[in-house]
Chain A
Amino acid sequence: VNFQLEGDPVALPMIVNATLLRIAQGAIANVVRHAHATRADLTLTYQSDSVSLDVVDDGVGFDPATASAEAGESFGLRAIRQRVASLGGMLSVESALGEGTALAVTVPILDPAAAEPSRPEVSA
């Protein structure tokens, strides 16, 4: 497993850090368990408006269409998708049989004022 860092790191809200770390751990565990890969790369990319985490392996891959049609989306992926959605981000899964798997999570970086943890809404 290689790790690459691209771009200038900026401070992120704690919740974003924690979520990305969890996803990285889960994704690497998936690679180890299922992919039969010889190489996996974890790349954290800071851009002006977003931060992305890519977990890419050269393993056996799978057919994303079949996987979700047959068994529903796997539990792990669904959990990741929900975590990312809660941060306003996007998850993309790219794979094909024999072509390895790429998982990409992109979370927007809001301007510093907006990045302050928002007050939970109180509902009566």
Chain B
Amino acid sequence: MKTVLTDDLTLAQQVAAGNEAALEAFYARYADSLFAFIYHHLSESRLDAEDVWQDTLLAALHALPAYRGQSRLFTWLCGVARHKIVDHLRRRGRGATDVFSDVPEGQLSTLITSEALPEETVMRRATRIRVVEALGLLPEDYQTALIARYADERSVSEVAQMLGRTYKATESLLSRARTALQEALARLEERAA
């Protein structure tokens, strides 16, 4: 029997019921990650990514009543996005095989603490997609902290101010978030194996 993820399910049900505050939370939580997921799949074409992102969010909004909470909401959204990416590539006369067959080199979750990752590995499309997927599986505060600190290159003090936490608490949050990201990568690798 599969576990039902009640937080994700509650959010999905509230959005499906027309709760605007829930829609705002849903959007803040998933919109950017979903865009990154699509953007990397479409080889960094912004215009294409915007089209597919829009289609995906609208389709997801209509299909949310069908979400049963048996996978993480972000995983479910990635599933919707995959369909839209395939449709888009088909319309463009391109096959989708290469887009979904690419897998990251080696076990990122192990390599991440054992060596400085080669630039080639970091920049590989499959690696970036997996990292986006893993980020989407993290609790919201972990995701926000990691992106603010490392993608936006804010200082720990700035992140602390942004999150309304003390410097020490933010350092500790970032440390837990890094470990959680490593664990999420491991779970995705397990699932893909």
Chain A bound to chain B = no
Chain A residues within 8 Å of B, Cβ to Cβ: none
Residues in chain B within 8 A of chain A (CB atoms): none
